Amino acid sequence: MINIENLCKTFGHNKAVDGLSFTVERGEVLGFLGPNGAGKSTTMRMITGFLPPSAGRVSIGNYDVAKSPLQAKRLMGYLPENAACYSDMSVHGFLSFVAEMRGLSGDAKRRSVQRVAELCFLGSVLQQQIDTLSKGYKHRTCLAQALIHDPEVLVMDEPTDGLDPNQKHELRSLIREMGRTKAVIFSTHILEEVDAACSRAIIIDRGRIVANGTPAELKNMSEFAGAVTLVAQGADAHKLAALAPAGRVEPLGGGGMRVYPRDRGASAVLVKAIMQLVAHEGWKIEALRTEEGHLDEVFRSITLPDTAKSASAVRDTQAVA
């Protein structure tokens, strides 16, 4: 549904987006991650046709956004970054306006306003002026606006920004639900959301894609991924390191050890070998687990500039020691 080829955007000398290409199909929820200023919002503005790209193209369904913007925009719902709404209108008036602009009228308009008001829990504030709403309610009003025509493609820039934990939870399930039938792309700084809602995630940094995969694949990029943590009385790091499938052994506080597999993916073999060793040596096991990768660690390791990366590595080892 969303097809992006070699998309670029330059502001003066600043390359905000630098040759992005990816696609989002119907039934997919793509999480769009990246540090501040990475170019997420700029990319979304180009997808929705607000900013013209400096190079490259975007198509939605069969429509090129640059050549047939109206048809492309009809297929899309968009929640902009700051979630700006016409603040002098009531929630109901604003949603009706957007519904009319989306070509809905009469009964269909009334029904869709009611539907999104329920979806976004706006029932109690429908008659209130948007000016006087709290931040979260404003955000939900703007979200409701994006859903009003039940679009096939949904583009959301930080949709959970400013929502309370309950609303965040509701929205994530809503996104997952909608992702079954629509093509959804949303940006976020909250990495748990990738696990909770995305079928795939892209990490960009300085306008380029640095990682692209399912949440599980991204986690596997973590250096922890597949490591085995063992807490046992009498455990001996040298004996662990001598095991055939074991690589580096890192001592943790409190008698724990973290054993990294020699090659990634060999974690099951490693667990088996460790179990045998423990049984053979008669160590008393308190805990044994295989580590999953941490997304935030992956995120940091690929988006930090190199100097900062080594500084943070030094900090980490100090913390362990």
Partner 1 sequence: MNSSIANVRNIAKRELGSYFTSPVAYVFLVIFLLLTGFFAFTIGNFFERGEASLASFFVWHPWLYLVLVPAIGMRVWSEERRSGTMELLLTLPVNPWEAILAKFLASWAFLALALALTFPIVITVNLLGDPDNGQILAGYVGSLLLAGAYLAITCMTSAMSRNQVVAFILSVVLCLFLILAGFNPVTDLLTRWASPALVDAVAAFSVVTHYDNFQKGVIDARDLLYFASLLGFALFATSVIIRNHRSA
Ligand X SMILES: Nc1ncnc2c1ncn2[C@@H]1O[C@H](COP(=O)(O)OP(=O)(O)OP(=O)(O)O)[C@@H](O)[C@H]1O
Interface residues toward ligand X, by CB under 6 A: 11, 14, 16, 34, 36-42
Which amino acid is present at 119?
Answer: L
Q: Residue 8 Cβ, how far from ligand X at the closest point, in Å?
A: 12
DSSP one-letter string for 3-48: EEEEEEEEETTEEEEEEEEEEE-TTEEEEEE--TTSSHHHHHHHHT
Which positions from 50 to 89 touch Mg ion by CB under 5 A, shown as an x/- string?
-------------------------------x--------
Q: Residue 62 Cβ, how far from ligand X at the closest point, in Å?
A: 27
Closer to partner 1 at the Cβ: 14 or 173? 14
Q: For residue 231, what are the β-bridge partners? A: 256, 287
Closer to partner 1 at the Cβ: 61 or 247? 61
Q: How far apart are CA 321 and CA 318, in angstroms?
A: 5
Q: How far apart are CA 271 and CA 260, in angstroms?
A: 10
Q: Residue 309 Cβ, how far from ligand X at the closest point, in Å?
A: 19
Q: Residue 65 Cβ, how far from partner 1 at the closest point, in Å?
A: 10
Determine, following the binding rule CB under 5 A, whether residue 41 of this chain makes contact with Mg ion: yes
Query: Pairing state of beta strands 200-205 and 2-11?
Result: unpaired
Determine, following the binding rule CB under 5 A, whether residue 188 of this chain makes contact with Mg ion: no
Closer to partner 1 at the Cβ: 102 or 219? 102
82 binds, among partner 1, Mg ion, ligand X, none (CB under 5 to 8 A by kind): partner 1
Q: How far apart are CA 163 and CA 137, in angstroms?
A: 8
Q: Residue 99 Cβ, how far from ligand X at the closest point, in Å?
A: 28
Closer to partner 1 at the Cβ: 89 or 210? 89
Q: Please, are residues 238 and 259 in contact by the beta-carbon 8 Å criterion?
A: no
Q: How far apart are CA 77 and CA 89, in angstroms?
A: 20
